[in-house]
């Protein structure tokens, strides 16, 4: 298999150190060696979430973390589920399997109307779910605004931070988020296969003992007291996660967030200069994602002509639109371990394809200027 460059919103391009970490000989998951790795991962994740609370690490995808976050606290009778993209919709689908749901739908790519959220909570919802960074549309949703409304009604707050934790500012304890989820393969920069869930004290008041066996967050937190997992973990992925967290520690979280912001800002500057339209429609509360940029497909260009050519001729993979947005947008990931070189290579290749199609004008200089901030 020919190695290429992944510029999608996860899984992300892996640092060589992370690849090497997975190549070591297997260790027993009940050994002191693993306990040391596990303990480090738990403590190193807390600053990324902005919490001093409990952390559970599940061998499973980010969706496993989302379901664990719902199922473990499903004594709640009614959820308000905010949906302005693919993953907000997924949260609502998960919650509907456990409790009554008021599914607050917004057109994908449109900003959340906080008044509609408050109206739903005023009708008796005991919890709210939302996606902080919606990668399907490239929008950053107003976490603090949502939490502020939820707290007026003493509602539990469950946040999908899968593509913001480790790449953007997340202050779980300060904001008042009760439960948050992250996936290993996004901003943290490790391979897919692990989900971490951070849990505040209030959440345990809503614990449901009838939670599915494998997704029971209490069992993970209890076992973590002895630096263990309740079931056999994906050991190589823990080795990779530990190395990824060391890389974050060495870079510094603030510097890492700054890098994510500047690289995404450079992509947006390039798009604007090239005459391309960004997909999200923002209001005063929302913002552009700092980990993925969603851009409308230029007129006269097909998804195959852009993404297909980019992959076949340049070995670079970017994402298209999901569901009804297929063929209408393309998405460039700026998360994890990527550098200025990766972004410039990607934009240069896309530009060469679109200029041949007479769809844009040269614009790479706009991205270069922004990257001077790094």
| Residues 343, 340: Cα–Cα separation, whole Å | 5
Residue 272 — φ and ψ, nearest 5°?
A: -65, -45
Closest CA to 6 of 272, 292, 268: 292
Contacts of 37 (CB under 8 A, 6+ apart): 238, 239, 242
| Residues 205, 270: Cα–Cα separation, whole Å | 48
| Residues 18, 58: Cα–Cα separation, whole Å | 19
**E strands, 149-225, in order:** 156-160, 179-183, 194-199
Q: Residue 351 corresponds to which tokens in the numbers above?
A: 């530009």
Report yes or no: 58 and 199 within 8 Å, Cβ to Cβ. Answer: no
Helix 253-274 crosses helix 364-371 at what angle (to 10 degrees)? 160
Closest CA to 133 of 320, 333, 278: 333
pLDDT at 2: 67
pLDDT at 3: 77
* Distance set, CA 273 to CA 3, 266, 298, 364 (Å): 31, 11, 14, 8
Report yes or no: 127 and 74 within 8 Å, Cβ to Cβ. Answer: no
Provide, for the chain, the percentages of residues in helix, strand and coil under a 3-state DSSP scheme, each rounded to the nearest 5.
45, 20, 40
The residue written with tokens 């996606």 in the block is: 131
| Residues 346, 279: Cα–Cα separation, whole Å | 19
Report yes or no: 141 and 84 within 8 Å, Cβ to Cβ. Answer: yes
User: So where are the chain's domains?
Assistant: 5-10+252-371, 16-251
CATH architecture assigned to 16-251: 3-Layer(aba) Sandwich (3.40)
Q: Please give the helix or strand (H or E) that residue 274 lies within, else none.
A: helix 253-274
| Residues 253, 283: Cα–Cα separation, whole Å | 28
Which stretches of 72-160 are DSSP H helices? Answer: 86-96, 114-122, 143-152
Q: Residue 115 corresponds to which tokens in the numbers above?
A: 């008044």
Report yes or no: 255 and 97 within 8 Å, Cβ to Cβ. Answer: no
| Residues 330, 137: Cα–Cα separation, whole Å | 10
DSSP summary character for residue 306:
I
Q: What is the pLDDT along the chain (374 residues), one digit of tens a residue?
A: 567 999 999 999 999 999 999 999 999 999 999 999 999 999 999 999 999 999 999 999 999 999 999 999 999 999 999 999 999 999 999 999 999 999 999 999 999 999 999 999 999 999 999 999 999 999 999 999 999 999 999 999 999 999 999 999 999 999 999 999 999 999 999 999 999 999 999 999 999 999 999 999 999 999 999 999 999 999 999 999 999 999 999 999 999 999 999 999 999 999 999 999 999 999 999 999 999 999 999 999 999 999 999 999 999 999 999 999 999 999 999 999 999 999 999 999 999 999 999 999 999 999 999 999 87
Report yes or no: 73 and 179 within 8 Å, Cβ to Cβ. Answer: yes
Radius of gyration from C-alpha coordinates of the chain: 20
Find how far residue 221's CA is from the centre of its chain: 22
Closest CA to 265 of 343, 321, 330: 343
Report yes or no: 13 and 263 within 8 Å, Cβ to Cβ. Answer: no
Report yes or no: 75 and 206 within 8 Å, Cβ to Cβ. Answer: yes
- Compute the C-alpha angle 287/191/160, nearest 5°: 35
pTM reported for the whole predicted model = 0.97
The residue written with tokens 């599940």 in the block is: 58
Burial of residue 285 (CB within 10 Å: 0-12, 13-18, 19+) is: middle
Give the right CATH number for 5-10+252-371 from 3.10.20.30, 3.40.640.10, 3.90.1150.10, 3.40.50.150.
3.90.1150.10
pLDDT at 373: 85
Domains 5-10+252-371 and 16-251 fall in the same CATH topology = no
């Amino acid at each position: 298999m020919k190695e290429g460059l992944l510029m999608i919103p996860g899984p992300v391009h892996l640092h060589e150190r992370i690849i090497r970490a997975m190549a070591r000989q297997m260790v027993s998951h009940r050994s002191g060696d693993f306990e040391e790795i596990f303990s480090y991962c738990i403590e190193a994740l807390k600053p990324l979430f902005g919490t001093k609370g409990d952390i559970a690490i599940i061998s499973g995808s980010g969706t496993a973390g989302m379901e664990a976050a719902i199922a473990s606290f499903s004594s709640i009778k009614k959820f308000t589920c905010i949906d302005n993209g693919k993953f907000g919709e997924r949260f609502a689908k998960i919650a509907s399997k456990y409790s009554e749901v008021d599914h607050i739908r917004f057109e994908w790519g449109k900003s959340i109307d906080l008044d509609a959220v408050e109206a739903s909570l005023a009708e008796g919802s005991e919890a709210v779910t939302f996606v902080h960074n919606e990668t399907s549309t490239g929008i950053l949703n107003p976490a603090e605004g949502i939490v502020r409304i939820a707290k007026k009604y003493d509602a539990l707050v469950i946040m999908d931070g899968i593509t913001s934790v480790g790449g953007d500012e997340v202050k779980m304890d300060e904001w008042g988020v009760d439960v948050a989820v992250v996936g290993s393969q996004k901003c943290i920069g490790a391979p897919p296969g692990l989900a971490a869930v951070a849990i505040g004290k209030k959440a345990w008041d809503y614990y449901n003992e009838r939670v599915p066996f494998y997704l029971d967050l209490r069992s993970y937190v209890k076992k973590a007291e002895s630096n263990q997992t309740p079931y056999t973990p994906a050991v190589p992925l823990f080795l990779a996660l530990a190395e990824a967290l060391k890389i974050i520690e060495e870079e510094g979280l603030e510097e890492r967030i700054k890098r994510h912001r500047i690289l995404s800002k450079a992509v947006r500057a390039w798009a604007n200069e090239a005459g391309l339209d960004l997909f999200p429609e923002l209001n005063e509360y929302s913002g552009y994602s700092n980990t993925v940029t969603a851009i409308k497909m230029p007129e006269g260009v097909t998804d195959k002509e852009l993404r297909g050519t980019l992959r076949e001729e340049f070995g670079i993979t970017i994402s298209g639109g999901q569901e009804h947005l297929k063929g209408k947008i393309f998405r460039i990931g700026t998360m994890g371990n990527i550098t200025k070189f990766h972004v410039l290579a990607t934009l240069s290749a896309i530009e060469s394809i679109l200029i041949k199609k007479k769809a844009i004008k040269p614009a790479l200089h706009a991205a270069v200027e922004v990257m001077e901030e790094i």
